Amino acid sequence: MRVLVLGGDGQVGRALSARAENAGYQAIAFGRDAVDATDENAIRAAIETTGAEALVNAAAYTAVDKAESDEAAAHKLNAEAPGLHALLAAEANIPYLHISTDYVLAGNGTAPHKESDPCAPQSVYGRTKRAGEIAAWQAGGRVAILRTSWVFAPWGNNFVRTMLRLAATKPELRVVDDQRGGPTSALDIADAIYRMLPKLADPKQKDATGVFHFQGRPAVTWAAFADAVLDEGAKHGHPRPPVVKITTAEYPTPAARPANSVLDCARYSRVFEMAPPDWRVGLAEAVPALLKLL
């Protein structure tokens, strides 16, 4: 299957390229400079010229805090583009898979969030991503929305790389300990997407469309995740300062963060027969690669 990937230069986009061959796919990935994910003519041409058999959107406005003062740009890429993608995919009679986020949920309570839980995003980023989910679904066609969280990879800018960079110069790292979620390797997300596409492409598979939750296990706080990152870095001789646990109130940001980002992944596991991955395996792969980038 030939898979057209938008946002091919991002964390998940690069992972889709890296994992394609082993999964039996041909990933044709375009970064923003090659194909603008908001450009109808460019996307239609890419679908036609590549002979794409599926369209995956890994493009997003992910600068969560910047979005609070740049809503127009966030809305164009996060809210408007997915509806366009879904329409073009339906026009070409190919499935469309859209990557979304835990930020579309309220992030309250303590129980893992199910796909059926009410959406109540608390930030511009969350609201625009939720609008994109709705637009993609309303466009029709074979559409699946994969919500994930706390994404990291052996490349790009992410929490893991930031912690390693700070550890090289800081005597201690102050990290929020009252937000809980599931770190998720971009490579695991790529594997999850490739697991989805055959069923999503099959009209007989009625349960393969709609919203699915997928994230790494076990659930942890940001502070606990930071400890794991630094422990892994120490195995490679990197400095290992202590992590000081703080509250969200002690680290104010322009955009509100969900306190509970833990997702219930039971529906994904049932439909696609793949259990949530252990993020610690992905972390062990990512850390040595990210250390080389510091």
Angle between helices 222-234 and 279-291 (to 10 degrees): 60
Dihedral sign computed on CA atoms, order 57, 112, 65, 135? positive
For residue 40, give Cα distances in angstroms to 43, 116, 138, 228.
5, 31, 17, 43
Q: Which of 142, 148, 117 is nearest to 212 (CA)?
A: 148
Query: For residue 235, what are the contacts with CB-CB under 8 A and spacing of at least 6?
Result: 287
Dihedral sign computed on CA atoms, order 223, 228, 233, 235? positive
As a three-state string, the secondary structure of 84-95 is HHHHHHHHCCCC
CA 250/CA 247 separation, integer angstroms: 5
Query: For residue 66, what are the contacts with CB-CB under 8 A and spacing of at least 6?
Result: none
For residue 20, give Cα distances in angstroms to 109, 190, 239.
37, 8, 35
Single out the catalytic residue among 25, 61, 103, 125: 125
CA 57/CA 162 separation, integer angstroms: 25
CA 223/CA 89 separation, integer angstroms: 41
Q: Give the pairing type, strands 220-221 and 180-181.
A: antiparallel
Amino acid at 137: W
Active site residue 194: no
CA 157 from centroid of its chain's CA atoms = 13
Please give the positions annotated as active site.
Answer: 125
